[in-house]
Amino acid sequence: MNLKELSIATFNLYNLNEPGRPLYTDRDGWTEAEYERKIAWTVRQLTILKSDVFGFQELWHAESMKRALLAAGLDADYDLVVPPEADGRKIVCAAIVRKGLLSSVPEWIEHFPENFVLRSHGDDPQTPLIDVTIRGFSRPVAHFTIKPREDGPDVHLYVCHLKSKGPTKLFNEGWYRDDRDTYAKHATAIGAAISTIRRTAEAAALRFMLTEQMKGNDTPVMVLGDINDGHFSNTTNILTEQPRYLVGDSIGGGDIALYSTQTLQEYRDTRDVYYTHVHEGIRESLDHIMVSEQFYDHSRKRLWLFDGLVVNNDHLNFDDHKADGTNDHGVIRAVFKYKPQRA
């Protein structure tokens, strides 16, 4: 296979599970009618966006994705990348990959690297010790490779879903129950802090793995998914290493940098209308596709030229996603043309 164009999408499925299966504290889950509307809307997104790779978040049951592919008439066109435990009992990251592209056995990374440490006494004597002991991802990261061209390298893809910004619920914690009068009034702030620490640790652990993968070589990498944080957030900065975006005929590129396709699109638009989530009237970009310098226009090591990004997000302006079958996140698609940088 020698593709001239490569398209990548990230798609939060909003708890896609078989009907009647529990979803968190909702013991009844989707009704048959809600499920059918949900499958129909998912089918519509798959057929509109027609991407070579879709990375998914919030998939519960593999059979539901198989059903969507069958309904779309795409079941013969894609390899389904799901873990063995995608049987409706928990959330997984997953993907579909156009036949002939997948070039490795997929893995799901649950644990942080053994030598990953978040501990410091600080930069000066006044700073107290910090010691974060989280050892794994809330949602295991899906990792696999594709080979879009026989004459080119494998591309490593990481599909992730980092901890949400919603405050962690504390009422089941022993220390909270033991002194509820003290902690109840602080539950939102403490819960939000815990979620932020967890998400930051997950971003740093993923960045640790990416640097080990990328440093000192020309390995093409893509990270896609719901990182539950915005374009200029610390979470995003950790993942990307905040590279410089060059303009004009400047040529550069960072060895371990990731470039946000949102920024690449902003350089081409006269107006920024990029948002993938709406919460209490606030529009945010929580879903991202980030790429290594092999996909960055101004890199000396460019293989693929960015050719545009779209966000399907009109459905976010309507609140009843359960009734409509829609999702609570926008679906993003980025396209790249094969055009290696000239020497």
Q: What is the rounded CA–CA span in Å between residue 331 and residue 212?
A: 29
What pTM was computed for the model? 0.95
- With a cut of 90, say whether residue 156 has pLDDT above it: yes
What integer pLDDT is reported at residue 267 of this predicted model? Answer: 85
Q: Where are the domains of the chain?
A: 5-160+201-338
Q: What is the DSSP string of 185-200?
A: GGHHHHHHHHHHHHHH
- With a cut of 70, say whether residue 280 has pLDDT above it: no
What integer pLDDT is reported at residue 114 of this predicted model? Answer: 95
Q: What is the rounded CA–CA span in Å between residue 215 and residue 329?
A: 33
Q: What is the mean pLDDT of the chain?
A: 93
Helix (H, G, I), strand (E, B) or coil at 9: strand
Q: Which of 335, 324, 321 is nearest to 289 (CA)?
A: 335
- With a cut of 90, say whether residue 178 has pLDDT above it: yes
What integer pLDDT is reported at residue 229 of this predicted model? Answer: 92
To the nearest whole percent, how much of the chain has pLDDT over 70?
A: 98
Cα separation values, 271 from 30, 248, 266, 268, 335, Å? 38, 20, 8, 9, 19
What integer pLDDT is reported at residue 208 of this predicted model? Answer: 98
Q: What is the rounded CA–CA span in Å between residue 107 and residue 238?
A: 23
Q: Which stretch of 64-78, 135-149, 271-285 has the lowest confidence by average pLDDT?
A: 271-285
What integer pLDDT is reported at residue 271 of this predicted model? Answer: 67
Pairing assessment for the beta strands 53-61 and 5-16 based on DSSP bridges = parallel
* Residue 275 confidence class, pLDDT cut points 50, 70, 90: confident
- With a cut of 80, say whether residue 282 has pLDDT above it: no
Condensed to tens digits (0 to 9), the pLDDT of residues 54-90 reads 999 999 999 999 999 999 999 999 999 999 999 999 9
What integer pLDDT is reported at residue 197 of this predicted model? Answer: 96
Condensed to tens digits (0 to 9), the pLDDT of residues 205-256 reads 999 999 999 999 999 999 999 999 998 899 999 999 999 988 777 888 999 9
Pairing assessment for the beta strands 287-291 and 221-226 based on DSSP bridges = antiparallel
* Residue 272 confidence class, pLDDT cut points 50, 70, 90: low
Residues 6 or more apart whose CB falls under 8 angstroms from that of 21 comprise 29, 30, 60, 61, 88
- With a cut of 70, say whether residue 34 has pLDDT above it: yes
Q: What is the DSSP string of 149-188?
A: BTTS--EEEEEEEPPPSSPPP-TTSHHHHHTHHHHGGGHH
Q: What is the mean pLDDT of residues 291-310?
A: 96
Answer whether 9's CB lies under 8 Å from 53's CB: yes
Q: Which of 11, 61, 15, 9 is nearest to 38 (CA)?
A: 15
What integer pLDDT is reported at residue 324 of this predicted model? Answer: 87
Q: What is the rounded CA–CA span in Å between residue 111 and residue 118?
A: 14
Helix (H, G, I), strand (E, B) or coil at 247: coil
Q: What is the mean pLDDT of residues 261-290?
A: 81
Q: What is the rounded CA–CA span in Å between residue 329 and residue 74?
A: 23
For residue 217, what are its two tokens?
């070589």
CATH for 5-160+201-338, among 3.60.10.10, 3.20.20.140, 1.10.10.10, 3.40.50.300?
3.60.10.10
What integer pLDDT is reported at residue 128 of this predicted model? Answer: 92
Condensed to tens digits (0 to 9), the pLDDT of residues 84-141 reads 999 999 999 999 999 999 999 999 999 999 999 999 998 888 999 999 999 999 999 9
Length of the chain: 343
